[in-house]
Amino acid sequence: MSNKLRLGVFKFASCDGCQLSLLNAEDELLALAEKLEIAHFLEASSIIGAGPFDVSLVEGSISTEADLQRIKDVRRLSKTLITIGACATSGGIQALRNGASYEEFVRAVYPSPEFIHSLETATPISQHVPVDFELRGCPVNTKQLVQILVDHLHGRRIRVPNHSVCRDCKLSGTVCVTVARGLPCLGPVTQAGCGAICPEFTRGCYGCYGPAHQSNPSSLMAWLSGHQHPVEQLVPLLQNFNAAAPAFSNAAKELQEGARR
Amino acid sequence: MSTSRTIRVEALTRVEGEGALNVRLSGDQIEAVELNIYEPPRFFEAFLRGRPLEDAPDITARICGICPVAYQMSSVHALERALGVEITPEIRQLRRLLYCGEWIESHALHMHLLHAPDFLGFASGIEMGQHFPEELKRGLKLKKIGNQLLEILGGRSVHPINVCVGGFYRPPKRDALLDLLPSLEWGIAAAADATRWVSEFDFPEFEADYDFVSLTHPDEYPFNEGDMLSSRTGVFPVAEYEKTIQEYQVPHSTALQAEKVATKSSCHFGPLARVNLNREKLQPIAKKLADECHFPTLCQNPFRAIVARGIELTHAFEEAAALVKAYRPVKSVRQSYELRAGEGAAATEAPRGTLFHRYHVDDEGKIVSALISAPTSQNQRQIEVDLESFLPGYLSLDNATIAHHCERLIRSYDPCISCATHFLRLTIERNDVS
């Protein structure tokens, strides 16, 4: 047996983009494979290893009864469990069904709803099992993903910066799209990690890395709605890939309630 | 007397997404072949309703991390039709360039990491790399160039952020594209070498009389525009897509299947269909390469899709290099539009086949309804039909070997089960009557 660490990659309800981010580490992939044994990674290998795993990467949210059981098995078999991406860390875009009429959603997509077996909600992994580290992003950043694996291999504490996208714009000299163009932007309340690409491409941040540490989305919303941005524009901005992250969902709720008053 | 035998393969691997295959046999009779996609449903078409139409390219991209550009392209074209937006030639060229990036990334990934290991007897691309290090490194380099192109044009490779209804938020930087030109030119030759390499593989003897379907365009290899073409029934307009090819639901899958309305028959979408139907429109080197590899005029062997993918990979590099050379930045690559109620449909060619979208929007710019037909759900019925005629030749073999061959056939379609709704688990039930 090799003394490599055994890696497991698992998928729940998701788009595959975060696992692909690992395969997108074209320059590091072969070096990583020298140090990690890919024991379970259905998208990349036909070897389906049983546990235990030294480190597991989990993509996707929990949205079926079967997955609810499967994540418990994955947790039991994994020494370190890292969730990757917005689906796994906050529920993802599919969490938009939480709070909507589930029955009606199924009927809208499937002509025979009775064949569909799914939970009424899509929820983050941490709601069901203890998680050792959450890597944010829709999708995760390949560099951050490689970095946390390397840190883990060397026994270092895994961490990524938790400041806001707004600060990255200042560091890179990107002109503020809210100040200069009047665009609504979630940069002040969204966690960095993407490289502040949206403002660089002259559009507002849409929050795909979720709420930044100690951010106050409600305050930003109050400011934006006081500056000609209608609630109908701001609510969808909060309700996308991290709609179910508490800081975003609370701010959306306050906006909606404020609009009704 | 009857004996029953069950063959179970825990998961179909090296595909994008998760599902299962159930085969029921009674003696040598195949009773049923069911591709069972149990990828959890995510209800995109339901939660798009009521959202601002400009959210569609970003949200539908999240259906698939492998081919987000396809979703962005089909959605913006459909919505532009609903709004009556005409895009400029510059926008059109940049969209083709963006699509080249996705085809390069997706085709290089599938050829080298997912499909080639089948022909060489390895469990993964990484394992294959221990025996074919140069080929794997070349493949990874090709893939990386596709991702770099996506980053320059789209901001990032998975779920690019620069596509909007009307064009792009910001034109790409010419310097960045020109810096990539030497890599793109290297890629043309390297992709052609990779294609020659895979064209020498041993292909299982299997052919089927397919109804190939793809977009077709009088002047160019199909990406974003054109009419639909069926090898059996000829041309039909994209606007009549659902009248010609309709999705229906089967109990064993969370992905809808598709068939021709008139004949209730399956269709074959993807690289094999596109090369067969549009070979004359390939870029010169790719076209010459197809001849050099003796790619049949009408190739009906699904396993040879890997060669078609190589030909298209070469084409995408050639076209990308030409587009980059011709690129002159303009101030804006974004058309403005007035909101109006309307309806619009579009089909574009995702790496693994035709992706159709239709939207109804209201006069406030909100989506009233959305319909999305993904390539893998469209190919799903064809895969079942293929397996029904492929299996009889293999029934004398042991269960594990049969399962392995079925998986290979399924994999040749580059199915993206995330798209179709993901885990392919293979079960073969045998009820041997004797």
Determine the pLDDT at residue B28. Answer: 77
Residues of A in contact with B94 (CB under 8 A): none
The answer on pLDDT for B433 being more than 50 is: no
Q: How confident is the model at residue A104 (pLDDT cuts 50, 70, 90)?
A: confident
CB contact under 8 A, B46 and A109: yes
Q: Residue B129: its chain A contacts at CB < 8 A?
A: 30
Q: How far is CA B405 from the centre of its chain?
A: 21
B63–A contact, CB cutoff 8 A = yes
Please report residues of A whose CB lies closer than 8 A to that of B124.
38, 41, 44-47
Q: Considering only residues 159 to 218 of chain A, which have any Cβ-Cβ distance to chain B shorter than 8 Å?
A: 194-195, 197-198, 200-203, 206, 208
pLDDT band at B30 (very low <50, low <70, confident <90, very high): confident
Tell me whether residues A45 and B124 touch, CB distance under 8 A: yes
Residues 79-118 of B with CB under 8 A from A: 109, 113-114, 117
Q: How far is A214 from chain B (nearest CA, A)?
A: 26
Element (H, E) at B182: helix B174-199
Judge whether B156 and A194 are in contact, CB under 8 Å. yes
CA distance A135 to A15: 16
Cβ separation B65–A16 shorter than 8 A = yes
Structure tokens of B295? Answer: 């790619």
**Number of independent structural domains in chain B:** 1
Q: Could you give the percent of chain B with pLDDT greater than 70? A: 90
* Residue B376, pLDDT score: 80
- Please report the residues numbered 11 through 30 in chain A whose beta carbons come closer than 8 angstroms to any beta carbon of chain B: 11-21, 23-24, 26-27, 29-30
pLDDT class of B422 with cuts at 50, 70, 90:
very low
pLDDT digits (tens, 9 = 90+) for B343-372: 999 999 999 999 999 999 999 999 999 998
Q: Is residue B396 part of a domain?
A: no
Which residues of chain A make contact with B43, given a CB cutoff of 8 A? 94, 97, 105-106, 108-109
User: What is the average per-residue pLDDT within B236-251?
Assistant: 87
Closest chain B residue to A18, measured at CA: B65
Class in CATH terms, A5-153? alpha beta
Q: Considering only alpha carbons, which residue of chain A is nearest residue B155?
A: A197
In a domain, B278, yes or no: yes
Q: What is the pTM of this model?
A: 0.94
| Residue B37 maps to a domain | no
Q: Is A58 on the interface with B (CB under 8 A)?
A: no
Q: How confident is the model at residue B432 (pLDDT cuts 50, 70, 90)?
A: very low
Residues of B in contact with A194 (CB under 8 A): 156
Taking an 8 Å cut-off on Cβ atoms, the answer to whether B40 and A15 are in contact is no
Percent of chain B exceeding pLDDT 90 equals 71
Alpha-helical (H) ranges within chain A are 17-23, 29-35, 65-77, 86-90, 102-109, 142-153, 165-172, 177-181, 197-200, 217-225, 231-238, 246-260
* Whether pLDDT at B286 is above 50: yes
- B304: domain CATH number is 1.10.645.10
In tens, the pLDDT along A129-172 reads 999 999 999 999 999 999 999 999 999 999 999 999 999 999 99
- Within a domain: B425: no
CA distance B350 to B107: 11
Band of the pLDDT at B427, cuts 50, 70, 90? low
pLDDT band at A42 (very low <50, low <70, confident <90, very high): confident
Q: Is the pLDDT of residue B2 over 60?
A: no
pLDDT band at B15 (very low <50, low <70, confident <90, very high): low
A165: which residues sit within 8 A by CB, 6+ positions away? A186, A187, A188, A190, A191, A192, A194, A196, A198, A199, A205, A209, A212
Parent domain of B70: 44-332+352-378
On the question of pLDDT at A252 being above 70, the answer is yes
Looking at every residue in chain B, the average pLDDT score rounds to: 90
- Reported as a single tens digit per residue, the pLDDT across B376-414 is 878 888 998 999 899 888 888 888 888 888 889 989 998
pLDDT of residue B33: 83
A119 pLDDT band, cuts 50/70/90, is confident
The answer to whether residue B288 scores a pLDDT higher than 80 is: yes
Smallest Cβ distance to B40: which of A48, A115, A118? A118
In a domain, B66, yes or no: yes
Range of weakest confidence among A126-135, B156-165, B177-186, B380-389: B380-389
Domains in chain A: boundaries: 5-153, 165-260
**Mean pLDDT value of segment B321-339:** 96
Average pLDDT estimate for B265-291: 97
User: Of B260, B292, B102, which Cα lies nearest the Cα of B192?
Assistant: B292
Residue from the list A47, A66, A93 with its beta carbon closest to the beta carbon of B124: A47
**What average pLDDT score do residues B94-101 get?**
98
Mean pLDDT for B33-37 is 78
How many angstroms separate the CA of residue A143 from the nearest CA in chain B? 12
Average pLDDT for B10-39: 74
Q: Residue A51: which pLDDT band, with cuts at 50, 70 and 90?
A: confident
- Compute CA distances B201 → A98, B113, B132, B142, B195, whole Å: 49, 15, 14, 20, 10
Of the two residues A1 and B332, the one the predictor is more confident about is B332
Q: Which residues 88-127 on chain A approach chain B with CB closer than 8 angstroms? A: 92-94, 96-97, 100, 104-106, 108-112, 115-116, 118, 122
Write out pLDDT tens, residues B109-121: 999 999 999 999 9
Distance CA A59, CA A21 (A): 11
